[in-house]
Amino acid sequence: MPLTTEAPFIFHQGNRPLLISMPHVGTHLPPAIAARLTPEGREVHDTDWHLGRLYDFARELGASILMATHSRYVVDLNRPPDGASLYPGQSVTGLCPVDTFDDTPLYAAGNGPDDAEIAERREAIWRPYHDQLAGELARIKVQHGVAMLWDAHSIRSVVPRFFEGKLPDFNLGTADGASCDPALAQQLLAIAQGAPGYTAVLNGRFKGGHITRHYGQPVRGVHAVQLEMTQCIYMQEAMPFDYLPELAQRVQPTLRSLLATVLAFAEG
């Protein structure tokens, strides 16, 4: 039996030099995996909820959009394929996580995936997503001479496992300057810091995951930025994780401005 019958991603092709990747919006759990998870695990708490809706203006901008379908609990598309830690010495979740952001077990009987199952998940879901991502960046680069990658994420504003206190609202990451033109990164930081009522940081706790670090190659004309946003600025951070339109509408102009700035850099 195949691991999953769901397509590994949803893709929309745009006509401008920007690809928005959403590797953690998926919520699908194949039944054979769901059956082994805890009740909390089946609720997929650590999803980057509602980003497709929050970024619903991106098609108007002409961006290509790549969205995961499967939960990060199945396989984390923003981890390297060998599962190496992105933040050595700090607490992290793996390629096929066995615990939640609250450090609680995901598998009811401790029967997490073995090496063979991890390899199967990687081939069935991780690789197709990355093949699509790489292929679209290459197409954009050929057509426009430059390709911009925006890796879109969100997270609860307080997760003691990973950081102390409350996160800034906009956490921009460029792999400490390696994945994106530094002048563009500073422009983006200025926009985020200038947004009234929000806080922002560049290359703080979140410097960009595997996608940002692997694909961002400014010398080759591919610039990658990760934005990790606090969920409290657009949704409920606890069950039932509802989208809050009034909050979302307040933050969307800043998101639009950030993406417009990325496009202006590419097309300027």
Please give the structure tokens belonging to residue 135.
């292929």
Mean pLDDT within 209-217:
97
Mean pLDDT within 123-130:
98
Please give the structure tokens belonging to residue 162.
């990973």
End-to-end CA distance of the chain: give it in Å, rounded.
50
Mean pLDDT of the chain: 95
* pLDDT tops 90 at residue 199: yes
pLDDT of res. 86? 72
**Structure pTM?**
0.95
pLDDT of res. 109? 84
Whether 164 is in a domain gets the answer: yes
Name the pLDDT band for 94 (thresholds 50, 70, 90).
confident
Output the CA angle 123-85-224, nearest 5 degrees.
75
Strands, E, within the chain: which ranges? 9-12, 18-22, 64-68, 147-155, 170-173, 200-202, 222-230
Mean pLDDT within 60-78:
98
* pLDDT tops 80 at residue 87: no
pLDDT of res. 205? 86
pLDDT of res. 224? 98
Element (H, E) at 127: helix 127-144
For residues 87 and 79, the model is more confident at: 79
Whether 2 is in a domain gets the answer: no
pLDDT of res. 128? 98
Owning domain of residue 167: 9-267
Mean pLDDT within 224-229:
98
DSSP state of 217: B
Mean pLDDT within 218-239:
98
Mean pLDDT within 43-63:
97
Name the pLDDT band for 91 (thresholds 50, 70, 90).
low
* pLDDT tops 90 at residue 114: yes
Closest to 204 measured CA to CA, from 177, 156, 171: 171
Mean pLDDT within 116-126:
97
Mean pLDDT within 57-73:
98
pLDDT of res. 222? 98
Whether 202 is in a domain gets the answer: yes
Q: Taking a C-beta distance cutoff of 8 angstroms, is the pair 201, 120 a contact? A: no
pLDDT of 17-35, one tens digit each? 999 999 999 999 999 999 9
Name the pLDDT band for 93 (thresholds 50, 70, 90).
confident
Whether 162 is in a domain gets the answer: yes
pLDDT of res. 2? 86
At 48, give phi and psi (nearest 5°): -85, 80
- Residue 199 maps to which CATH number? 3.40.630.40
CB atoms within 10 A of CB 132: 17
Whether 1 is in a domain gets the answer: no
Whether 175 is in a domain gets the answer: yes
According to the per-residue pLDDT averaged within each range, which of 68-72, 78-82, 159-163, 204-208 is highest? 68-72
Closest to 148 measured CA to CA, from 41, 266, 53: 266
* pLDDT tops 80 at residue 78: yes
Whether 74 is in a domain gets the answer: yes
* pLDDT tops 80 at residue 74: yes
Counting the structural domains of the chain, the total is: 1
Whether 26 is in a domain gets the answer: yes
